[in-house]
Amino acid sequence: MRRPSRTTALLSLAPFFLMLCAAVAASPANADRQPQLEPSDPAYTARDVQNIADAYGRIDGPGGQLRNPAYLPALVQATTARSVQQMLTQVASPTRPAVTAGNFFPGWNVGNPLRDGWSGTRGLSRKVAFTNQHGALLRGTVWRPKPGARDPYTGQVLRAPFPGVVLTEGSVQGSEGMHEWLAQDLAERGYVVLTYDVQGQGTSETLPHSTGDVFPTCCDGVPFQQLSNFVVGTRNALDFFTATPSQPYANPSAAPGEADPFNPYWRLFDRSPDRRTATPGRTSRIAIIGHSLGAQAVSQVQATDRRVAAVVALDKLRGGDGIRPVVPALAVQSEYGFTVSPWFTSGGSSITPQPSPEGPDPLRERETGFDAWRAAGVDSMLVVPRASTHLDYTDIPLVLPASRYGQDLTSVYTQLWLDRYLKHSDNTAALLGGRFRYLEPAGEGRWSPVTLRRDALLSFYYCSAYSLDPRGGAGARRTGDVTGVGC
């Protein structure tokens, strides 16, 4: 398939290739801290050209999709299996039509095919279905550690019960399959995780149902591209995740046997009150994670749902506009949106770029949500991976841009953040450290370790930041500019 976004981006830089030839700056990957450069310096444009190329690293970077011989065969096999599975599921539920890209385009919901075989070897998973408050059938998966398993990083035996995580996908026909990577990474380290498709996306039903009606009605939750679907989905997913046989989920408008009454791994979820909670009054051991419109949804839900103890927003954390920071928040945000463009079009936001003749505003990513959390005195952290795009957090094969290590870095920081606030690990040194170890799927049941050097993998355009324990004391740690970008 063609990659028009990359071609367009490179053609737009044609006038600057002579400047590139004259540049003497080293590639950003070759040094941890990047030199301070001005837009008038030819080296500035040379570095930008390299950054644009690196924004396709997941496809053609070292070990990327096109450079791993195991990837394409695994993709073909996984696509075939997933497509048949989805077709059989839809045939078995004729009154619950999912008119979605995920059901029509082969491979849409596959995720990373190199992870096939995770369930049963590194952890376990179960398919689930529940209805949202509009009666639409939502389909998802619950992930858990394998019985008797050891943490793949520390070697410690994982002992139940475990904290819980609910993960809400992004909009524009995102699917839970695109986020299996994070669910698996968390589950094999001692979490019970629910991923699901919101109404109108993935394999979930498009239309709502009125109480007692067999066939769908109209039009709550239609069209799918609306914030309320993601807010409703997050809240109802929390309801389902915390349900038990004695207190089952209501499943509005579901026929008998059509939906699951409770989380099949309900026994594994740690329901004991958290006496060390970072947020007074929030004693449940649950975090919510969201991407894109899902990130905006979890930013809202954390303010009002007292079950939520921590939040992770993947492009982007939202503050202001009535959103009140309440629980510790990790924000992982991108330099680019769905397309990759040169430095002089970095104004506005990553999703809707505008001209920026003076160069990128280093405060751009802080201002969406992190600054509001810091001002409210709530623990927060902002990570901006270098060359990252809005699609770093979704597994999509071969075509759309994503950086080589943005997803790895995101997983590491998410694990550390949730360990800190759900398991109360004393991990400040690790969280603020400069080097991380991560296990990547290499195919054929193999996971390979990679070393991630923080400063080389963070943006040299936009500031990463953190504000921990802001209530005072010797343990308080704060900086608005982790790598000296210039905030």
pLDDT surpasses 60 at 17: no
Cβ pair 196, 237 in contact under 8 A: yes
Reading the block at residue 479, the tokens are 């900086």
Mean pLDDT of 108-133: 96
Nearest to 386 by CA among 407, 366, 400: 407
pLDDT surpasses 80 at 27: no
Reading the block at residue 285, the tokens are 């051991």
The model's pLDDT over 145-154, given as tens digits with 9 standing for 90+, comes to: 999 999 999 9
How many Å from the N-terminal Cα to the C-terminal Cα in the chain?
40
Could you give the CA distance from residue 401 to residue 294 in angstroms, rounded to a whole number?
20
pLDDT surpasses 50 at 25: no
β-pairing verdict for 164-168 and 192-196 = parallel
Cβ pair 382, 375 in contact under 8 A: no
Give the pLDDT of residue 219. 85
Mean pLDDT of 383-405: 96
Give the pLDDT of residue 33. 66
Q: What is the DSSP string of 422-437?
A: HS----HHHHT-SEEE
Compute the residue count for the chain.
487
Mean pLDDT of 88-111: 89
242 φ/ψ angles, rounded to the nearest 5 degrees = -90, 0
What distances in angstroms separate CA 281 from CA 45, 277, 327, one per listed residue?
Answer: 50, 8, 11
Higher pLDDT, 259 or 35: 259
Cβ pair 445, 434 in contact under 8 A: no
pLDDT surpasses 70 at 312: yes
pLDDT surpasses 50 at 3: no
Give the pLDDT of residue 371. 98
Give the pLDDT of residue 7. 38
**Does pTM top 0.75 for this prediction?**
yes
Give the pLDDT of residue 285. 98
What distances in angstroms separate CA 471 from CA 60, 128, 278, 280, 287, one per listed residue?
Answer: 45, 41, 11, 13, 22
pLDDT surpasses 60 at 44: yes
Mean pLDDT of 22-48: 68
Q: Residue 321: CB partners within 8 Å, gap ≥ 6? A: none
Q: 384-395 b/e with 16+ CB inside 10 Å = b?
A: bbbbbbbbbbbb
Could you give the CA distance from residue 52 to residue 9 in angstroms, rounded to a whole number?
8
Q: At what angle do helices 227-241 and 293-304 cross, to 10 degrees?
A: 60
What distances in angstroms separate CA 83 from CA 75, 89, 205, 327, 399, one per listed residue?
Answer: 12, 10, 17, 39, 19
Could you give the CA distance from residue 426 to residue 415 in angstroms, rounded to a whole number?
13
Q: H/E element holding 443? A: strand 435-443
The model's pLDDT over 343-378, given as tens digits with 9 standing for 90+, comes to: 999 999 999 999 999 999 999 999 999 999 999 999
Tell me the sheet residues that pair with 133: none
Give the pLDDT of residue 110. 93
Tell me the sheet residues that pair with 480: none
pLDDT surpasses 50 at 226: yes
pLDDT band at 223 (very low <50, low <70, confident <90, very high): confident
Mean pLDDT of 136-152: 97
pLDDT surpasses 60 at 6: no
Q: Residue 338: CB partners within 8 Å, gap ≥ 6? A: 5, 351, 389, 390, 391, 400
Give the pLDDT of residue 262. 98
Mean pLDDT of 125-138: 97
Could you give the CA distance from residue 487 to residue 463 in angstroms, rounded to a whole number?
6
Reading the block at residue 203, the tokens are 């394999």
pLDDT band at 48 (very low <50, low <70, confident <90, very high): very high
pLDDT band at 236 (very low <50, low <70, confident <90, very high): very high
pLDDT surpasses 50 at 55: yes
Minimum mean pLDDT among 22-31, 134-143, 184-193, 382-391: which range? 22-31
Q: Which residue has the tokens 């045939």?
A: 91
Minimum mean pLDDT among 134-143, 191-200, 219-228, 279-288: which range? 219-228
Q: Residue 386: CB partners within 8 Å, gap ≥ 6? A: 28, 51, 54, 335, 403, 406, 456, 457, 458, 459, 460
Could you give the CA distance from residue 481 to residue 467 in angstroms, rounded to a whole number?
11
Minimum mean pLDDT among 46-60, 366-380, 467-481: which range? 467-481
Arithmetic mean of pLDDT over the chain: 91
Distance of CA 51 to the CA centre of its chain: 22
Give the pLDDT of residue 299. 98
